[in-house]
């Protein structure tokens, strides 16, 4: 029986067939209408137990803002139930609960304040200009590999004190790290990924720790690169362990290499497919910040994060039992018909609020201001140089439950 003909309650959101073309937006629309809090029972993909899906914006916000009932730490933020991944994730603040989450995150707050990020605009604009200078005179390029990736990699690597000659290496590492389920990036499957690749990455990240240690370092290294902040900082009066530092390095590098790239490429595709919207931005660049928010709404870089119920609780009329996982599907909440008029229409004048940076609460996205700045400068830089940009071939996507990522997008610049 075709999925459309089956009762939505019988469908498993973890079925890889739903994810061949990115997030299953049609399925999410059915779930919002017919079963907004939905159970996907096992058997599912390897290491994926049964889990609840939350698809309406208001329910996502309720889960996200109640950390006492819905824990990030208890079994991790992943819809997989893999012991190695969960234990490693729990070394990072994204998979911690307060109060340690808040204290850990405080290490980085100063570097990511909106005013501090605004001061980075000339530096980031220079990176954008440099990358575009490399493709000057070209007729066609791959928007992922030749524009988006080198810009976002240099920004986050520069903030971490990683030299430019290592950009390509770490970008490749992070693409594989994030696209865990994609056989193109991880042909050895989950077992090889968990038992070989992730330990290798932890060793690679650990190599960057020792050169940054300072015997006289205090808990507030100030303007040092982000890895030095981790190495020389303290949480709850104690330095971070090497494993905590290594995993936090991977968290920062993966988010910085993936998220803005993802939304920029999807935004440019939407603009090329809707020339009227592209022309609005060419004619009036002051609309670009609004277009950034609309792109974040429609194309959030991460489709979901999970929480684990700490007690039996009713959610959307369903009983969620203690220790059951709850997936907050941002790709669905951002298209909630009760919140947005014509939610599947890309409208650069909409300037919406959205859940691209989560559903609120303690786990607000640390890099939100940076992502907005990068997206504005990247879209602005593209349209200023190439107002006639258009698609020039087949695009391809990562096969992943958590990413909303194109892996290739050939475009004609003129």
pLDDT the model gives residue 50: 86
Tell whether omega for the bond before 99 is within 30 degrees of 0, i.e. cis: yes
pLDDT tens digits along 169-211:
999 999 999 988 888 899 998 889 999 999 999 999 999 999 9
pLDDT tens digits along 215-232:
555 444 444 899 999 999
DSSP β-bridge partners for residue 307:
326
Percent of the chain past pLDDT 70, that is, above it, reads 95
289 vs 75, which has greater pLDDT?
289
The 3 state secondary structure assigned to the chain is CCHHHCCHHHCCCCCHHHHECECCHHHHHHHHHHCCEEEECCCCCCCCCCEEEECCHHHHHHHHCCCCCEECCCCCCCCCCCHHHHHHHCCCHHHCCCCHHHHHHHHHHHHHCHHHHHCCHHHHHHHHHHHHHHCCCCCEEECHHHHHHHHHHHHHHHHHCCCHHHHHHHHHHHHHHHCCCCCCCCCCHHHHHHHHHHHHHHHHHHCCCHHHCCCCCCCCCCCCCHHHHHHHCEECCEECCHHHHHHHHHHHHHHHHHHHHHHHHHHHHHHHHCHHHHHHHHHCHHHHHHHHHHHHHHCCCECEEEEEECCCEEECCEEECCCCEEEEEHHHHCCCCCCCCCCCCCCCCCCCCCCCCCCCCCCCCCCHHHHHHHHHHHHHHHHHHCCCCEECCCCEECCCCCECCEEECEEECC
pLDDT tens digits along 112-123:
999 999 999 999
Region 5-28: mean pLDDT is 90
Pairing outcome for strands 51-54 and 325-329: parallel
Answer for the pair 367, 355: CB distance below 8 angstroms, yes or no: no
pLDDT the model gives residue 295: 98
pLDDT the model gives residue 114: 94
pLDDT the model gives residue 220: 46
pLDDT category at 403 given cuts 50, 70, 90 is confident
pLDDT the model gives residue 218: 47
pLDDT the model gives residue 89: 82
Q: Please check the confidence at residue 2 and state whether its pLDDT lies above 70.
A: no
Tokens of 179: 């696209």
pLDDT tens digits along 142-156:
999 999 999 999 999
Q: Please check the confidence at residue 373 and state whether its pLDDT lies above 80.
A: yes
Length of the chain, please?
A: 414
Handedness of CA 73, 77, 81, 83 (dihedral sign): negative
Owning domain of residue 225: 3-412
Answer for the pair 128, 151: CB distance below 8 angstroms, yes or no: yes
pLDDT the model gives residue 45: 60
Region 16-27: mean pLDDT is 90
pLDDT the model gives residue 82: 73
Q: Please check the confidence at residue 94 and state whether its pLDDT lies above 50.
A: yes
Q: Please check the confidence at residue 40 and state whether its pLDDT lies above 60.
A: yes
46 vs 386, which has greater pLDDT?
386
pLDDT the model gives residue 48: 65
Region 380-387: mean pLDDT is 98
Q: Please check the confidence at residue 129 and state whether its pLDDT lies above 90.
A: yes
pLDDT tens digits along 43-73:
556 666 789 999 999 999 999 999 999 999 9
Region 288-314: mean pLDDT is 96
Q: Cβ of 197: how many Cβ atoms within 10 Å?
A: 17
How far is 161 from 280, CA to CA, in rounded Å?
A: 38
Number of domains in the chain: 1
Region 242-264: mean pLDDT is 95
Answer for the pair 383, 357: CB distance below 8 angstroms, yes or no: no
How far is 32 from 340, CA to CA, in rounded Å?
A: 13
Instruction: Indicate which CATH number applies to the domain containing 15.
Output: 1.10.630.10
- The reported pTM is 0.94
pLDDT the model gives residue 43: 55
C-alpha distances out from residue 176 to 4, 67, 158, 227, Å: 33, 30, 21, 21
pLDDT the model gives residue 85: 79
Region 398-404: mean pLDDT is 82
Answer for the pair 153, 170: CB distance below 8 angstroms, yes or no: yes
Among residues 302, 201, 251, which one has the least CA distance to residue 96? Answer: 251
Tokens of 144: 């992922």
pLDDT the model gives residue 221: 41
Answer for the pair 186, 197: CB distance below 8 angstroms, yes or no: yes
C-alpha distances out from residue 165 to 158, 205, 229, Å: 11, 16, 22
Handedness of CA 344, 274, 287, 381 (dihedral sign): positive
Q: Please check the confidence at residue 277 and state whether its pLDDT lies above 90.
A: yes
Round the average pLDDT of the chain to a whole number and report it.
Answer: 92
How far is 179 from 19, CA to CA, in rounded Å?
A: 13
Tokens of 311: 């007690």
pLDDT the model gives residue 317: 94
Task: Provide the Cα torsion 99, 101, 104, 105; round to 10°.
Answer: -120
Region 381-407: mean pLDDT is 92
pLDDT the model gives residue 49: 73
> Quick one: 274 exposed, middle or buried, by C-beta within 10 A (0-12, 13-18, 19+)?
middle
How far is 115 from 112, CA to CA, in rounded Å?
A: 8
pLDDT the model gives residue 171: 97
């Amino acid at each position: 029986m075709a999925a459309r003909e089956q009762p939505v309650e019988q469908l498993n959101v973890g079925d890889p067939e739903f994810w061949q073309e990115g997030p299953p937006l049609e399925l999410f629309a059915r779930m919002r209408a017919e079963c907004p809090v939905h159970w996907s029972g096992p058997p599912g993909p390897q290491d994926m137990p049964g889990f609840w899906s939350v698809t309406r914006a208001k329910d996502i916000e309720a889960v996200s803002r109640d950390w006492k009932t819905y824990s990030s730490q208890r079994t991790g933020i992943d819809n997989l139930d893999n012991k190695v991944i969960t234990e490693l994730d729990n070394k990072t603040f994204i998979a911690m609960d307060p109060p340690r989450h808040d204290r850990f995150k405080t290490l980085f707050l100063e570097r990511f304040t909106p005013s501090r990020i605004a001061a980075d605009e000339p530096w980031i604009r220079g990176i954008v200009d440099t990358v575009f200078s490399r493709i000057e005179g070209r007729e066609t390029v791959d928007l992922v590999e030749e524009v988006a990736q080198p810009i976002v990699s240099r920004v986050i690597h520069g903030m971490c004190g990683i030299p430019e000659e290592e950009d390509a290496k770490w970008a490749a590492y992070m693409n594989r790290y994030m696209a865990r389920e994609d056989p193109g990036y991880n042909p050895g499957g989950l077992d090889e990924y968990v038992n070989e690749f992730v330990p290798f990455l932890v060793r690679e990240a650990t190599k960057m720790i020792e050169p940054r240690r300072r015997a006289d370092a205090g808990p507030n290294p100030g303007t040092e690169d982000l890895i030095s902040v981790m190495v020389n900082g303290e949480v709850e009066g104690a330095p971070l362990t090497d494993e905590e530092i290594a995993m936090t390095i991977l968290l920062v590098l993966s988010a910085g290499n993936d998220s803005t790239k993802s939304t920029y490429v999807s935004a440019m595709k939407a603009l090329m497919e809707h020339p009227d919207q592209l022309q609005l931005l060419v004619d009036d660049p002051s609309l670009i910040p609004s277009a950034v928010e609309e792109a974040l709404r429609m194309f959030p870089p991460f489709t979901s994060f999970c929480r684990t119920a700490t007690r039996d609780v009713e959610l959307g009329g369903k009983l969620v039992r203690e220790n059951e996982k709850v997936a907050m599907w941002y790709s669905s909440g951002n298209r909630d018909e009760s919140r947005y008029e014509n939610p599947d229409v890309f409208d650069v004048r909409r300037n919406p609020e959205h859940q691209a940076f989560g559903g609120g609460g303690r786990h607000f996205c640390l890099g939100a201001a940076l992502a907005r700045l990068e997206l504005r400068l990247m879209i602005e830089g593209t349209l200023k140089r190439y107002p006639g940009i258009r698609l020039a071939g087949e695009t391809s996507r990562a096969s992943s439950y958590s990413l909303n990522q194109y892996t290739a997008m050939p475009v004609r610049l003129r």
